[in-house]
Amino acid sequence: MKVEIINIGDELLIGQVVNTNASWMAAELTKSGMQVVFISSIADDEDAIHSELDAASKRADIILLSGGLGPTKDDITKKTLADYFESDFVFHEPTYEQVKKIFAARKFKVSEINRQQAMIPEKCIPLLNVNGTAPGMWFEKEGKIFVSMPGVPFEMKSMMTGEVIPRLVKHFKLRAIVQKTVMTTGLPESFLAEKIKDWEENLPAHLHLAYLPQPGIVRLRLSAKGEDQKALTNEIEHQVKKLHALIPDSIFGYDEVSLEQVVGELLVKSGKSVSTAESCTGGYVAHLLTSIPGSSRYFKGSVVSYANEVKTQWLSVDEETLNEKGAVSREVVETMAATVREKMHTDYSVAISGIAGPDGGTPEKPVGTVWIALADESGVYARRYHFGEHRGRNIRRSALAALDMLRLKLLK
Amino acid sequence: MKVEIINIGDELLIGQVVNTNASWMAAELTKSGMQVVFISSIADDEDAIHSELDAASKRADIILLSGGLGPTKDDITKKTLADYFESDFVFHEPTYEQVKKIFAARKFKVSEINRQQAMIPEKCIPLLNVNGTAPGMWFEKEGKIFVSMPGVPFEMKSMMTGEVIPRLVKHFKLRAIVQKTVMTTGLPESFLAEKIKDWEENLPAHLHLAYLPQPGIVRLRLSAKGEDQKALTNEIEHQVKKLHALIPDSIFGYDEVSLEQVVGELLVKSGKSVSTAESCTGGYVAHLLTSIPGSSRYFKGSVVSYANEVKTQWLSVDEETLNEKGAVSREVVETMAATVREKMHTDYSVAISGIAGPDGGTPEKPVGTVWIALADESGVYARRYHFGEHRGRNIRRSALAALDMLRLKLLK
């Protein structure tokens, strides 16, 4: 089944909103065996919506729209769809009940604007919006399915998972595409490509490899299309095993797992705990670790020592060492790691100190120079890294390198 | 001038990559007075690229492509474009010099794969990629401009800013669209809509208002199209002033400024410093503050006290209070804020303790219950918030609420 995703909203065309809906929808549809053939972003404009509905129904069997359903004046999707499908409006009592329920939970009163959200086109099947007040709308026309969803991500997501995908799977006979994504860190894309060149060249023709690089991470996606799903799955597993033998340390997981999740699972499994002491990453490692539900089982806390006086007072860094070696030095990160580990009573700790930029670089220690230390019961060791010139990416790559240092330690 | 953005990459259609390129490009193009009329994501597939180039050149004057230029096997854009424009390949020495320079800076050797990046279609003007090895390609055909750029965001961005936009501005006569975005926090979208209803209804017809909600933030974008740019600018400023009078505390800034940036500027201006003590936000407030270049002028550090023992040992929280009132309580956040402020010698501090979820909620304190405290020389005060059920959004909204509490204090 071919799917087209249409995202409606002027805010997309002027770039004020990043279209995270499209990627999330595409991933979910792909997992369910549908093939997304086209994604578009178009204006909050009646003509644009009509002409894209026409074009999409030539390319795809299923047309999913998101956006433009809010209670405010610039959202015109509902009216436009009613016109397109030549439908009158009716008042839908269950939708109004849902609007009232949502507002009661938030302790707000229902306004007239919100009451109008219960007016829906007669020709659609309304879809429950468990997280919001605008219902979804399911239309069928000439064998094609059209579904309109809200643009607010968490409203759209619960509607996709709870209503749209189950209905589509039921309505069509769907076959899954087999794919596996190998998550790597520590090697740049071109290095990785050289290391696995022979393996890549010997892949069977019906297996497809894609490189998906991000700062600090390269994802390798293997996908297969064919008739026998079980045979394809086995074949992909076989190839991933061969790949793993080539780059065992670089692979930290599979299928969109995050490094912080992998580290969290290893800590839970080993019953160990961790703390962090952060300078240039400013709490970002702690944030990544605590973004995982249940992280209180292994993460105790962090000292973000941005100012040097916090390094000396809270983390026992010597003032003399700071003056002689500088805050970005082996000695300083080693002391930071050892102190926070000891004082927070954790099994492990990581410490990071570096020059994130844009200022603060010197010829000896240019922007992007970062020291990372790891402490455990056997002692402390540190390593120096050279990242790039961009602050945000330096913070991200430093944090990933610190987590990866911990991961490799936990595996040993 | 009408622009169409085509993003090439299977990874977009299966949803493994969020298309941040499209929004960034659209914002830059809009600022330069161009109108993005359509954004699409299509497959790494020769036919898909050819047919979308045909369709786009009917809708737009400028067609910008990103993606598919990497050195690896799944990137086919360059060959496809050479076919489309019926062009042979030539070796481009300056591009090869750039490839060598990039690799020297990273201390890597140039591989044969990388050397091939200097082979470019004869009919294009190559565009310098200061951050990478794949050059951009500028084609002209029947009065339309086609530009192909790399998909790696920071390579595409420097090429857009340094090459593509200046060339487009020069090539066409461009007129700016006037727009201003008002950044608000603290009021949900429908509340805001009620509060400003009369103002909104009385807007002149050629001014357009859009609501752009995100967790914890609602952006109001006013835009105007017309002939007299100066008159439009004045008119928008006049309307924004009227809006400000209606919701003075809710507006924290304009035009995509972040709350952490505004808080940072207020701290710099007042010469004050800040520290944080974080439980449920896990270092995220510190991360937001330190994401701003130069934040070391006002941010000293943070104690992330995820475990209760870190709260007692590092932040002087009483064990009895923890047992009686619980970690999510007025008493605990007030002590956290007061202690970190005193011990880090800062003018201000904020402290956060809450139940981010998904676990840990009780009937009395459901998931989403968060206490936030602010300390300054005059004392400490705290407020209780009720956010939602989603961990990531609760962390984000808690951090924004803490920053906003500090902002309002700094304004008084």
Give, in words, the CATH class of A2-171.
Answer: alpha beta
The answer to whether the beta carbons of residues B222 and B236 sit under 8 Å apart is yes
Sign of CA dihedral A90, A94, A98, A100: positive
Size of interface A-B (CB pairs under 8 A): 302
* Closest-CA distance of chain B to residue A39, Å: 5
pLDDT by position in tens, chain B (length 412): 999 999 999 889 998 889 999 999 999 998 788 999 999 999 988 999 999 999 999 999 999 999 987 666 556 888 999 999 999 999 999 989 888 887 777 677 777 777 888 899 999 999 999 888 889 999 999 999 999 999 999 899 999 999 999 899 889 877 657 889 999 999 988 899 999 999 999 999 889 898 888 889 999 989 887 778 789 999 999 999 999 999 999 999 998 899 999 999 999 999 999 999 999 999 999 999 999 999 999 999 999 999 999 999 999 999 999 999 999 999 999 999 999 999 999 999 999 999 999 999 999 999 999 999 999 999 999 999 999 889 999 999 999 999 999 999 999 8
Q: Look up residue A181 and give its two tokens.
A: 């994504």
Residue B175: the pLDDT is: 65
- How many Cβ atoms sit within 10 Å of the Cβ of residue B242? 12
Query: Is A190 in Cβ contact with B113 (below 8 Å)?
Result: yes
Query: Is B29 in Cβ contact with A15 (below 8 Å)?
Result: yes
Residue A234 in this model has a pLDDT that exceeds 90: yes
Residue type, B37: V
- How many Cβ atoms sit within 10 Å of the Cβ of residue B47? 10
* Closest-CA distance of chain A to residue B408, Å: 24
Chain A residues with beta carbon closer than 8 angstroms to that of B209: 73-74
The answer to whether the beta carbons of residues A35 and A62 sit under 8 Å apart is no
The answer to whether the beta carbons of residues B77 and B65 sit under 8 Å apart is yes
Cα→Cα distances B93→B90, B98, B120, B126, Å: 9, 9, 10, 11
DSSP letter string over B345-373? Answer: T-SEEEEEEE--SSS---SSS-TTEEEEE
Q: Look up residue B77 and give its two tokens.
A: 């854009």
Tens-place pLDDT, residues A163-221: 999 899 889 877 656 889 999 999 988 899 999 999 999 999 889 898 888 889 999 98
Residue A74: the pLDDT is: 59
**Which residue in the block uniquely carries the two structure tokens 């799903």?**
A229
Residue B270: the pLDDT is: 97
Measured distance between the N- and C-terminal CA atoms of chain B, rounded to whole angstroms: 46
Alpha carbon distance A73, B209 (integer Å): 8
* Closest-CA distance of chain A to residue B151, Å: 10
Residue B74: the pLDDT is: 59
Residue A70: the pLDDT is: 67
- How many Cβ atoms sit within 10 Å of the Cβ of residue A64? 29
To test the contact with chain B by mutation, choose from A113, A287, A292 the residue with the greatest count of B C-beta atoms within 10 A, namely A287
Alpha carbon distance B299, B387 (integer Å): 27
Residue A73 in this model has a pLDDT that exceeds 60: no
* Closest-CA distance of chain A to residue B27, Å: 4
A371 or A177: whose pLDDT is higher?
Answer: A371
Alpha carbon distance A265, A271 (integer Å): 10
Q: Which chain B residue is nearest to residue A212, measuring alpha carbons?
A: B11
Residue A70 backbone phi and psi in degrees, to 5 = -65, 170
Alpha carbon distance B43, A163 (integer Å): 27
Residue B408: the pLDDT is: 97
Choose the closest CB to A299 out of B25, B286, B306: B306
Mean residue pLDDT across chain A? 92
Give the ipTM.
0.77
CATH number for the domain running over A178-254 = 3.30.70.2860
Q: Is the peptide bond before A358 cis (omega within 30 degrees of 0)?
A: yes
Q: Which CATH superfamily is domain A259-411 in?
A: CinA-like (3.90.950.20)
Tell me the domain boundaries of chain B.
2-171, 178-254, 259-411
Query: Is B306 in Cβ contact with A300 (below 8 Å)?
Result: yes
Choose the closest CB to B283 out of A73, A113, A286: A286
Helices vs strands, H then E, count in chain A: 17, 17
Choose the closest CB to B212 out of A17, A37, A392: A17
Alpha carbon distance A369, A43 (integer Å): 44
Chain A residues with beta carbon closer than 8 angstroms to that of B398: none
Residue A178: the pLDDT is: 84
**Which residue in the block uniquely carries the two structure tokens 């990785």?**
A192
Query: Is B16 in Cβ contact with A212 (below 8 Å)?
Result: yes
Asked whether the whole model's pTM tops 0.90, one would answer: no
**Which residue in the block uniquely carries the two structure tokens 């080693």?**
A334
Query: Is A305 in Cβ contact with B291 (below 8 Å)?
Result: no
Helix (H) or strand (E) holding B38: strand B35-42
Q: Compute the C-alpha angle A305/A402/B360, nearest 5°.
A: 75
The answer to whether the beta carbons of residues A71 and A118 sit under 8 Å apart is no
Residue A175: the pLDDT is: 65
* Closest-CA distance of chain A to residue B19, Å: 6
Query: Is B42 in Cβ contact with A193 (below 8 Å)?
Result: no
Residue A256: the pLDDT is: 82
Tens-place pLDDT, residues A126-154: 999 988 888 999 999 999 999 999 999 98
What is the percentage of chain A residues whose pLDDT exceeds 70?
A: 97
Alpha carbon distance B221, B211 (integer Å): 7
